[in-house]
Amino acid sequence: MELAAEVVEFRVPVGSEKTVFVWNISATVSEEEISHSLWKIFSEFGVLYSVRVCKNASVTEPGYYALVKFFSSRDALRAQQTCNKQRLFQESPLKVCLCTRQKEFRHEAQKLNSVKCQDLANHYLGFNGWSKRIIALQNISGLDEQENDDGMAQTQSYSVKYICVVEIVLRDHGLCSRGIAVAEELLENRKDPLEFVLKTEKVLKYAVQKAVSDAFQKIILVVLENGKVAVQYRPVQEAIGESLSDEDLQGLIQVNDLSWMPCNLDEDEEPFSEISLYEELEEGI
């Protein structure tokens, strides 16, 4: 008997079959408490992408409804079947169903941010089932400035810009994936050393985050009903960092007059392993 397989990607989940609709939520507690309770309960069935709590329309009785989005449609179905008509965190039973609303246009799934990528990898591959390292982290500020006839830069604004190349390694599956990203932040006052330091730190973290996210986009998880996970590699597009060795990358960057800053590859984690994601960028990376 063949086991049904489900494909799970490191992207923002789309599709009504992955979204659970919860209603008949009483207004006896705050939205924050409801969100916390729902996250705690439904995360027992699988990895969650989001929990959104909303007030009922003014024409109905006071209360709330919620949308719980899973990465796996199988997890969403199991949660719906188990939780429907149950008193999960209130005296009255909740009503739980899978969303059936269909969009007219199916948009391409957005990239998943680095924090959620790592949460997803930890769940399906285990904390020791994958690792990451920084291959290159380069300052490329000012390289796109063009000069006028007098040899002066035409650009009036100044920015801090870094390029980062990260490698995700899945040793048990014999697979590695590279991600490449560029982050930039404009400087309001290029002569202010504090602004320069703070924005450089921000750009460094963001470049690493984006590169980690880019590397995970090329990894596909195939999850069987028995919980076993197979991994496939599917590059989104041929990136410059994919086909080049570390030495080739270093040579290429030197040719382009970039300052090469080699990282200590003997360490298991790069300097920015403990990073937090900016909320406004949550779905964009």
Query: Dihedral (C-alpha) 142, 145, 149, 152: value to the nearest 10 degrees?
Result: -30
Tell me how many degrees the CA angle 94-98-102 measures, rounded to the nearest 5: 135
Q: Which residues of 154-185 are buried (b: 16+ CB within 10 A; e: fewer)?
A: eeeebbbbbbbbbbbebeebeebbbbbbebbb
Three-state DSSP at 25 gives strand
Q: How far is it, in rounded angstroms, from Cα 92 to Cα 86?
A: 8
Task: List, by residue range, all CATH 3.30.390 domains of the chain.
Answer: 114-281
Per-residue pLDDT of the chain (285 residues; tens, 9 = 90+): 455 899 999 999 988 899 999 999 998 889 999 999 999 999 999 999 999 999 998 777 889 999 999 999 999 999 999 999 999 899 899 999 998 765 545 556 788 999 999 999 999 999 999 999 999 999 998 766 555 555 555 556 789 999 999 999 999 999 999 999 999 999 888 888 999 999 999 999 999 999 999 999 999 999 998 889 999 998 765 544 555 555 555 544 433 333 333 333 333 333 343 333 333 333 333
Dmax of the chain from CA atoms? 77
147 phi/psi in degrees, rounded to 5: -100, 150
Fold category of 13-98 in CATH: Alpha-Beta Plaits (3.30.70)
Instruction: Report pLDDT for 277.
Output: 30
Q: Write out the two tokens for 103.
A: 């969009």
Task: List, by residue range, all CATH 3.30.70.330 domains of the chain.
Answer: 13-98
Q: Is the dihedral of CA 278, 281, 283, 285 positive or negative?
A: negative
pTM here is: 0.76
Three-state DSSP at 138 gives strand
CATH code, 114-281: 3.30.390
Place of tokens 């024409």: 59
248 phi/psi in degrees, rounded to 5: -65, -40
Give residue 132's identity as a one-letter amino acid code: K
Burial of 277 (0-12, 13-18, 19+ CB in 10 A): middle
Instruction: Report pLDDT for 269.
Output: 38
